[in-house]
Amino acid sequence: MVRVKPRNLRARLGATLAVTAVAVAPGLATVDAAHAETKADRYCAVLVGKATGGKPSPVLARACDGTSAANARAKMLQASKDGPQATALAATLLMTWYANTDYRVPATSVYGSAGPCDSAGYRLRPDSYWSRNLSSARGSGSCNTARFANIAGTYSRTFALPVPYLGSALNDNVGTIWVYYR
């Protein structure tokens, strides 16, 4: 029989309780973060509508896949309320977000239901995972510019897309993104 010293037992118990507390604390552990931590959902696709009244673009559908961005897009189209065929015709790739510098996965592709970027563009609000993990981004088609603002809303910077690194003030600290054509 192995004897455990009381001090070691307390240390192990304390560590276990600390991990449990973090896992169940509201707002700290989210489904989005869990997906990105595993390789099961390394690729995600999000369909957004056009922003109105200065509000963020509404999220219309979202899906993830562990194999490819194409599979994530197919799942997203299936989840769309408009039906996969109608949505596939309207969904235009706007930009892709990456959790690492230099465009390395995990990644989320953001599609627009109102067609490509124009000067009004799309106003995006990253979910809880992406606001704390976004490091690089690529634009697609006419989506050649993006203004990233930090979570606190106290700093923003405009980039020509693609951008391999958002810089120290915005890396893992993105609250809103306005992607548009310039």
Q: Phi/psi at 28 (nearest 5 deg)?
A: -90, -40
Could you list the pLDDT tens digit for every one of the 182 residues in the chain?
Answer: 444 444 444 443 343 333 333 333 222 222 243 344 455 678 999 999 988 888 899 999 999 999 999 999 999 988 887 666 656 666 899 999 999 999 999 999 999 998 899 999 999 999 999 999 999 999 999 999 999 999 999 999 999 999 999 999 999 999 999 999 99
Helix (H/G/I), strand (E/B), else coil: 163: strand
pLDDT of residue 17: 36
Question: 153 near 131, Cβ under 8 Å?
Answer: no
In the chain, where are the structural domains located? 30-180
Top-tier CATH class for 30-180: mainly beta
H helix runs in 50-176, sequence order = 69-79, 84-90, 128-131
Q: What is the pLDDT of residue 31?
A: 28
Answer for the pair 71, 106: CB distance below 8 angstroms, yes or no.
Answer: no
Where is 106: in which H helix or E strand?
A: strand 104-112
Instruction: Tell if the pTM clears 0.85, that is, is over it.
Output: no
Give the span between the Cα atoms of 84 and 181, in whole angstroms: 27
